């Protein structure tokens, strides 16, 4: 399979596993200097720090640091590091499940974001792995919600990014999850949930509405314990929050979900006492480069089910 040429490296190194920001100068810009444009384009990101960053050589082009008089050059790029936010450490390890020269597959804990976003930057699986494994070019092949634990694939070889990301784009990866949620005796099992989901930018909760189906999930009861049940969930599409919303719409919201069916007030950053009971247990795919069949299993368990005897489908959790 043809591999694409890796992108040119940024002229600034990563900082704690975090890439520098790249800003391209518009072709139709009329600013006198690069600093003038950045003050216009990024007032909330550089703000009062702009003069200090320029003076300290923290903003660079491909030719080196800019100064206050560096003229605006349409189409050029500049790089700099955002100031890292104060973050509460997530006190759980990222466990390595599989590693070769192209792939890194890990078992992510609850509460750890997959990639930097918003207030979660250094405390993410990607930043940790880049630093701990000394793999600065590592990128995700897909993403897992911060509150969801389980298997996540990363790509170590930049030349192979297209091949592995294409597996998820073309739905060639079989993924399974397990969840603990209320037991509903009237719920026909197994069943396939189909709906139209809408997730608006800046709105935490997705919603369902009439229209063409774009989200499909398979739900199967594995075990019951009193008023709770353990379910196998198989997403046949990849919408944000799909499994969480579908379980809630069935009347069985996943235990520990702070968004569905109701958005709850945020908890303290150091409160890890109520993890979402959703675990990405399975990744199965054919390696597009080697042709090898890979079948990987999470070693994690869900806390709400941890006191159970040997599970009826124990083979799902074995590697």
- The residue out of 31, 51, 80 marking a domain boundary is 80
Do 49 and 195 have their domain in common? no
Residue 79 tokens read as 């790089």
| This prediction's pTM | 0.86
Do 226 and 289 have their domain in common? yes
In a domain, 86, yes or no: no
More confident residue, 310 or 189: 189
* Tens digit of each residue's pLDDT (9 = 90 or more) over 222-266: 999 989 999 999 999 999 999 999 999 999 999 999 999 999 999
Confidence of residue 314 (pLDDT cuts 50, 70, 90): very low
Do 185 and 37 have their domain in common? no
- Using CA atoms, how far residue 243 sits from 79, 145, 215, 266, 299, in Å, is 38, 11, 9, 21, 21
Percent of the chain with pLDDT over 70: 93
Q: Averaged over 208-216, what is the pLDDT?
A: 97
Do 114 and 155 have their domain in common? yes
In a domain, 107, yes or no: yes
For residue 290, pLDDT beyond 70:
yes
Residue-level pLDDT at 47:
72
CATH number of the structural domain spanning residue 40: 3.10.290
Total number of domains constituting the chain: 2
CATH number of the structural domain spanning residue 293: 3.30.2350.10
In a domain, 13, yes or no: no
Q: Averaged over 4-23, what is the pLDDT?
A: 80
Residue-level pLDDT at 10:
81
Residue-level pLDDT at 221:
96
Do 169 and 214 have their domain in common? yes
Q: CB neighbours of 162 closer than 8 A, spacing ≥ 6?
A: 3, 4
The domain of 65 spans 21-80
For residue 16, pLDDT beyond 60:
yes
Residue-level pLDDT at 44:
73
Residue-level pLDDT at 5:
52
For residue 141, pLDDT beyond 50:
yes
Confidence of residue 7 (pLDDT cuts 50, 70, 90): low
Catalytic: 170? no
In a domain, 1, yes or no: no
Do 178 and 63 have their domain in common? no
Cβ density class 44-58: b for 16+ within 10 Å, e for less = eebeeebeebbeeeb
In a domain, 3, yes or no: no
Distance CA 15, CA 127 (A): 9
For residue 311, pLDDT beyond 50:
no
In a domain, 14, yes or no: no
Do 166 and 206 have their domain in common? yes
For residue 96, pLDDT beyond 50:
yes
Do 54 and 153 have their domain in common? no
Residue-level pLDDT at 9:
72
Q: Which of 36, 67, 134, 145 is catalytic?
A: 145
- The residue out of 33, 48, 80 marking a domain boundary is 80
Give the chain's mean pLDDT. 91
Confidence of residue 306 (pLDDT cuts 50, 70, 90): confident
Do 166 and 302 have their domain in common? yes
In a domain, 226, yes or no: yes
Do 58 and 171 have their domain in common? no
Residue-level pLDDT at 319:
31
Do 66 and 147 have their domain in common? no
* Tens digit of each residue's pLDDT (9 = 90 or more) over 27-48: 987 899 999 999 998 877 677 7
Do 155 and 303 have their domain in common? yes
- The residue out of 80, 112, 131 marking a domain boundary is 80
For residue 312, pLDDT beyond 90:
no
For residue 211, pLDDT beyond 80:
yes
In a domain, 15, yes or no: no
Residue-level pLDDT at 131:
96
Residue-level pLDDT at 6:
52
Confidence of residue 316 (pLDDT cuts 50, 70, 90): very low
Q: What is the DSSP string of 158-226?
A: GGGHHHHHHHHHTT-SEEEEEEEEE--TTS-SSEEEEEEEE--TT-SS-EEESSS--EEEEEEEEEEET
């Amino acid at each position: 399979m043809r591999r694409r040429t890796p992108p040119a490296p940024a002229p600034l190194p990563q900082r704690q596993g975090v890439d520098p920001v790249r800003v391209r100068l518009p072709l139709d810009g009329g600013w006198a200097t690069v600093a003038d444009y950045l003050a216009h384009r990024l007032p909330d990101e550089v703000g009062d720090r702009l003069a200090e960053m320029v003076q300290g050589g923290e903003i660079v082009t491909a030719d080196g640091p800019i100064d206050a008089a560096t003229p605006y050059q349409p189409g050029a790029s500049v790089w700099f590091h955002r100031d890292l936010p104060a973050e509460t450490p997530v006190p759980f390890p990222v466990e390595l499940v599989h590693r070769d020269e192209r792939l890194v597959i890990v078992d992510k804990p609850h509460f750890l974001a997959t990639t930097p976003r918003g207030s979660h930057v250094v405390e993410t699986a990607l930043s940790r792995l880049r630093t701990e494994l000394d793999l600065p070019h590592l990128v995700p092949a897909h993403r897992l919600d911060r509150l969801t634990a389980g298997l996540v694939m990363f790509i170590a070889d930049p030349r192979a990014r297209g091949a592995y990301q294409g597996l998820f784009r073309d739905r060639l990866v079989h993924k399974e999850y397990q969840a603990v949620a209320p037991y509903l005796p009237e719920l026909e099992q197994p069943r396939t949930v189909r709906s139209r989901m809408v997730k608006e930018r800046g709105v935490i909760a997705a919603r369902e509405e009439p229209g063409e189906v774009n989200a499909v999930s398979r739900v199967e009861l594995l075990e019951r314990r009193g008023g709770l049940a353990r379910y196998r969930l198989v997403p046949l599409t990849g919408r944000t929050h799909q499994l969480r919303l579908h379980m809630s719409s069935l009347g069985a919201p996943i235990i520990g979900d702070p968004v569905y069916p109701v958005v709850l007030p945020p908890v303290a950053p150091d409160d890890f006492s109520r993890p979402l009971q959703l675990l990405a247990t399975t990744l199965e795919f054919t390696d597009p480069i080697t042709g090898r069949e890979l079948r990987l299993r999470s070693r994690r368990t869900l806390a709400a089910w941890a006191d159970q005897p040997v599970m009826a489908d124990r083979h799902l959790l074995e590697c």
